Structure 1
Amino acid sequence: MIGKTALARAITAESITAECFPTPELALRSNDPAKQAKVRAFAGEQAVAARRVCGRLAAALAAANDRGARFNAVWTAFDAVQDWRYQLALASAEATGRYGRDRAERFRTQITDDTANYDRLGEVGRLREGSAYDQATRTWTGGEQTPASLAMRRIGELAARRFAPGADVAHNHLVLPSGLYLVLPSGRATGARLLRGDVAKAAADELTARVAARGEDASQMEVGGDLLYAATGSTTDRRRIWAAAMGLLAGEYRNWTAARNAWAKAAYLLYQAPQMKKGSDSVNRVFLVAAGTVLLGRPPVLLHDIDLRAYVLPEHEFVTELLAVQPPEPAVQNERGAVLELLEPQDYNSVQATYWTAYARTAGAPIEAHATGVNAVADAAARAGAATALDRLADDLAAESASVARTGEDARGTGVGLVLALFLCRLAANELRAGGAR
């Protein structure tokens, strides 16, 4: 059953790189290449965090012996990512500002019904480089368009089409999946809301009052013009939605396509249920890549500005977009699945435990060609070197397997686990030597 093989996959955390984290255009608020490069460098920090969480989550799921343990493993992984983002904010090189140390507490401050998050969409003048504040209109005017200002304009256009004629509020209505590891009931819930007109004006007034109450300068807030906001949903619904996302990512699926679809739905749900006042986008991105790598056997692909698209698109459109950018199922997984189908169900626990023990000992050695993306390695010498390293690992596993067979120590389970790992090493080495040709 492929559902069980989610634990026994050769999860290669090293395949998670900075390329897995496309820089959101919203973060590119300058046209200066040097400033943009500084922003793009954050992808590397996200990759480091995702690799660490991926390895820990894989090990925790391998050790989980029931549904509750799987759910707790995924929950713990999410909490670890949230703590990473908070610690990063605490260690910021900037004392003040948008990501200054003085705002670190907001990365672990819960959103409540009284402190909903509001993100302005559409024409946002402060995102243009060199714009100036106009007190009369309470907007930022002039300036040069940036990737951020253009992206927000496009997002605003998508949001505008969601409103019914005469309506000032549009909702992301969700049907939560059932049969998961949930204490809370499944059913319907409401995620993000889109606001315009008088409702948006009330949100702008609320935001201004909040900023002033914190003792911050609210005199140049952009709360004029054609107001359009994305707003978080109720605390009760966000908790239910978040739990449903955790349940999907803790699931066991009979085939790779079902696992991929579950991951895509979980991504939409997570963005409907942010937890903290700041940092939810990067937390979700790191967590989705880490958990997706465990679930799918290789890093999934994220959309640019995935958070904004989740706010303004209905679920079916978002999931369709997200699935469209995912690569096809790795052929090597089909071959691994065929091997695992031969195992007796009672042998599986000892097999997967041995497999993960072998994997951990190799410190994440790439034992799955497709999952590590080695087919894209153009340098023949690099491919040959990796193939040789895999052969050495296979030799070690073969020797250990022979030793287990001689001693008779749990030969059925432990031996099969080692042979499976050995098989995947040889397969990946052959792929590398073939230059990735299929």
Structure 2
Amino acid sequence: MITADSFPTPHLALRDPAQERQVLTFAHEQAAIAESLRRRLAPDWRRRTPPERVALLRRTCRIITEWRYNLAASAPGRLGAGIPLDAERFRTKIKPGQPRIDRLGYSGRLRTHTEDNPLVWDPDTHLYVGGESTPAHEIMLRYGQDAHERMDTAGAGDVLVNRVVLPSGRTLDGTTLVRGEEAQRIAAALVARVAARGRDASRMETGDYPVYLVTADPAARALMLDAALNLFAADQSLDPDHALPAVQAGRYLLVEAPEYYKGADASIRVLVVVVGALLTGRAMLLEQDMDLRCLVGGQDAATEMPADTSPRSA
């Protein structure tokens, strides 16, 4: 049985009891939809042909996307400060020429406002300053540092592209890590894009020295998604010796291939736990920073994760 134990909370901002309840409730919501899907797929999974399994997985992806949208639509708001939650972004597909962009490094909006240490917007630095640190803030700082270190080690300058190898051996360009002057250009373009949607972008954090994660182009993401689903659905993946490696390899491909602007992290987590249960017979335990491990570390560093061999049965 899949439980909330498979979805350890990322401790986004646990200094606020209300936000703590929101985060913990989300873990149970993920477990509930995952267990429901597992029960739906498990009885006939091994009797199905690989094409039938792929079709079932695509339908499962659509169900998960709608589930994630409904949760966002009913949520009281986002964790931390910043632009208010827009539920439509959870079912808006990433458009050509308008990739999904995520910021790593200092994220003042993830700090907590307190009476003794208020969190305020600084128009000079274009950052939220003050407040008290939270685990989420520390995670984003750490992965920002890790991204800078990886780029320095690779001698990549200000742009580093994750090279993604498919099970077929074909190599594609995945997520791009960007910093420096190019990051400043991306930040300005992102602010303009948000404002063009009628949102208040005046307090989007663009200061400091961040690294931006920019999704791959649509064609590459489609190929990576297809490869992941076909790997999950392959007869060979039913073999105990191949099941876990298939889940691990497919997981990395899914993280590199989000379809929507928001919600991909949770949706991918649910799908991975469902597939993991189907193939390995275990309710896999996910790392709380699974997506950042993949996107910042790259395929060689993040295909296998420490929690993957946790001995829990589904």
TM-score (norm 1): 0.65
For structure 2, list consecutive stretches of 5 or more residues without a partner in the other structure.
Answer: 114-118
| Higher-helix-fraction structure | 1
For structure 1, list consecutive stretches of 5 or more residues without a partner in the other structure.
Answer: 1-14, 179-185, 331-369, 373-438
- Paired with 1:107 and 1:98, the residues of 2 have a C-alpha distance of 16
Paired residues for 1:299-318 under 5 Å: 299-318=283-302
Identity of aligned residues (%): 38
Q: Which residue in the other structure is 2:178 paired with?
A: 195
2:216 is aligned, of 213, 228, 233, to 233
Q: 1:118 to 1:110 in 2, by over 3 A?
A: same
Query: What letter matches 1:132 in structure 2?
Result: V
Of residues 154-163 and 201-210 in structure 1, the stretch that sits farther from structure 2 once superposed is 154-163
Q: Which residue in the other structure is 2:37 paired with?
A: 53
- Paired with 1:371 and 1:169, the residues of 2 have a C-alpha distance of 42
Q: Which residue in the other structure is 1:395 paired with?
A: none
Indicate the structure whose relative CO is greater, using CA pairs within 8 Å and at least 6 residues apart. Answer: 2
Q: 1:392-434: per-residue Cα shift (whole Å, max 9, x none)?
A: xxxxxxxxxxxxxxxxxxxxxxxxxxxxxxxxxxxxxxxxxxx
- Paired with 1:81 and 1:60, the residues of 2 have a C-alpha distance of 20
* Greater Cα radius of gyration, structure 1 or 2: 1
Matched, 1:268 2:252: yes
Q: 1:89 to 1:311 in 2, by over 3 A?
A: same
Partner of 1:326, secondary structure, is: helix
Superposed CA RMSD: 2.2
- Paired with 1:59 and 1:73, the residues of 2 have a C-alpha distance of 13
- Quick check: 1:61–1:70 contact (8 Å CA) kept in 2? yes
Aligned residues: 304
Paired residues for 1:27-426 under 5 Å: 28-64=12-48, 66-90=49-73, 92-94=74-76, 103-130=86-113, 131-163=119-151, 164-165=154-155, 167-178=157-168, 187-253=170-236, 255-320=239-304, 322=305, 324-327=306-309, 371-372=313-314
Q: Which residue in the other structure is 1:16 paired with?
A: 2
Q: 1:84 to 1:60 in 2, by over 3 A?
A: farther
Deviation at 1:57, TM superposition (A): 2.0
Q: 1:134-155: per-residue Cα shift (whole Å, max 9, x none)?
A: 1111112222110110111111
Query: What letter matches 1:234 in structure 2?
Result: D
- Paired with 1:159 and 1:93, the residues of 2 have a C-alpha distance of 31
Q: 1:6-30: per-residue Cα shift (whole Å, max 9, x none)?
A: xxxxxxxxx10011111123xx135
TM-score (norm 2): 0.90
- Paired with 1:40 and 1:104, the residues of 2 have a C-alpha distance of 20
Query: What letter matches 2:313 in structure 1?
Result: A
- Quick check: 2:255–2:294 contact (8 Å CA) kept in 1? yes
Deviation at 1:37, TM superposition (A): 2.6
Deviation at 1:93, TM superposition (A): 4.7
Deviation at 1:34, TM superposition (A): 4.0
Q: 1:103-140: per-residue Cα shift (whole Å, max 9, x none)?
A: 22211110023221111101112211122111111112
